Amino acid sequence: MNFYSLNKKAPKVSFKDAVVKGIAPDRGLYFPEKITPLPATFFEEIDSLSNYEIAFEAIHQFVCEDISQNKLNTILEDVLDFDFPVIEIEDNIATLELFHGPTMAFKDVGARFMARCLGHFSKEKSNEVTVLVATSGDTGGAVANGFLGVEGVNVVILYPSGKVSDIQERQLTTLGQNIAALEVDGTFDDCQKMVKTAFLDAELLENMQLTSANSINVARWLPQLFYFLFTYKQLKSKNKEIVFSVPSGNFGNICAGMVAQKLGMPVTQFVASTNVNDTVPQFMRTQNYKPKPSTATISNAMDVGDPSNFIRIRHLYKDNFDMLKQNLSSYSFTDAETKEAMLKIYKESGYITDPHGAVGYLGLKKFKEEHPSAYGIFLETAHPVKFLDVVEETLGKSLEIPPQIQKVMDKEKNSIKISTYKEVKDYLLGR
Ligand SMILES: *Cc1c(COP(=O)(O)O)cnc(C)c1O
């Protein structure tokens, strides 16, 4: 399988090169040349397949020549060694809990898959790879954990100082080994800009093999399609129209869901739920894509003003707005609405959501106003304790800290404070 650049000014590359490069030389995102639907029998019999078998069938076509079937199986068994439960909290409304991985963020699957692919590829070369990644919250921890100790790979994480939660910060600043954290005096968009500048910096590129671990990297982005298939497996016997509401920031997760749909998974609609960073909801109203600086919110992993994967979504729908609109609805919600929803869900069902999941719930409710018979799933993308302060304050209740989180709370933070791109570059060049 080859991947082409969405800017169409760079040569096609293999899966391996797309993973190692991260982004095409013309700055475009890589996109698979072909998405071949899985046979109808796959979906008819999905409830008799294991998660590994489902994942293998779904991802195999994208990586085929570059990783042997045996190796791919080993990687998937390693990556998917936890549960993805679907829990009904109201009639026709369920949550898909994606937080049972090692950092309790849904990004664990993509980050671990990418780390194992990159580890496999860099073994064949003597060259080390440096993974440079900007995080608005959860990416950093998941990437740090996924890549920890992977030989031939160094990881440098940029995060906005004071704008990630205490737990998130600990998860990316306490590991050491091949993981370094740069604490940027600025916003997530500033971090992302620095990363993008580094990828264009000829002097850096001469000195090192740089790659990204954001969802622009195909090995981070594509495995997320598993979640939707695992959910379908659990809901198929209900025989209902399925709607997914995805709390969205960079729009990688929801775009992967749309790839699952292209693979033939029956789903009626995707709802992209956002906080007040509403570039996409605005676009779906006006057809006018106007990126803007990000605004800080309580669902900080979604504080993105110019979502990098939205271009992949538009491309999936051939830039046809009417076609896109038939599959995608998008709504935005304020922090006040989010807190109100967290409290309402807790009071009515006893279920505790984190702010991101609550935004997903709100988007689903909004969609269901006009489609009451659909079965809706909102993705719970992080464990509530990762947003401890806001959850405890909103619910007036203290949460129990799970052991994998307690472990990092006791470790010492280790970050390098920076404020300019030059400092990032000097760090990377060891100056
Ligand atoms: C990253 C993240 C999101 C947004 O996912 P995208 O794929 O960037 O849209 C939502 N919730 C949490 C908790 C996240 O970490």
Could you report the per-residue pLDDT of 378-397, keeping only the tens digit for each? 999 999 998 999 999 999 99
Residue pair 329/272 in contact (Cβ under 8 Å)? The answer is yes
The H or E element spanning position 96 is strand 93-97
How confident is the prediction for the chain on average, in pLDDT?
A: 94
Does residue 101's CB lie within 6 angstroms of at least one atom of ligand 1? no
From CA 79, how far away is CA 28, in angstroms rounded?
A: 28
Q: Measured from the CB, is residue 140 less than 6 Å from ligand 1?
A: no
Please work out whether the CB of residue 384 comes within 6 Å of at least one atom of ligand 1: no
Determine if ligand 1 sits within 6 Å of the CB of residue 386. no
**CA 142 to ligand 1: nearest atom:** 15
Q: Are 216 and 268 in contact (CB under 8 A)?
A: no
- Over residues 312-354, the pLDDT tens digits come to 999 999 999 999 999 999 999 999 999 999 999 999 999 999 9
Asked if residue 215 has its Cβ within 6 Å of ligand 1, the reply is yes
Residue-level pLDDT at 126: 67
State the pLDDT at residue 372. 94
Beta strand spans in 223-312 (E): 242-247, 269-274
C-alpha to C-alpha distance for 296 and 139, rounded to whole angstroms: 17
% of the chain exceeding 70 in pLDDT? 99
Please say whether the beta carbons of 119 and 75 come within 8 A: no
Distance 248 CA to ligand 1 centre (A): 6
Mean pLDDT of 291-308: 91
pTM for this model (two decimals):
0.93
User: 70: buried, middle or exposed (CB in 10 Å: 19+, 13-18, 0-12)?
Assistant: exposed
Torsion of CA 296, 302, 305, 307, to 10 degrees: 170
- Which pLDDT score, from 0 to 100, does residue 196 have? 87
CA distances from 415 to 160, 169, 170, 174, 238 (A): 12, 9, 10, 9, 49
Opening angle at CA 245, ends 243 and 405, nearest 5: 135
Q: Which tens digit of pLDDT belongs to each residue from 3-18?
A: 999 999 999 999 999 9
Q: Which atom of ligand 1 is nearest to the CA of 137?
A: 15
The tens digit of pLDDT for each residue in 35-53 reads 999 999 999 999 999 999 9
Taking 3-state DSSP, the helix, strand and coil percentages for the chain, each rounded to the nearest 5, stand at: 50, 15, 35
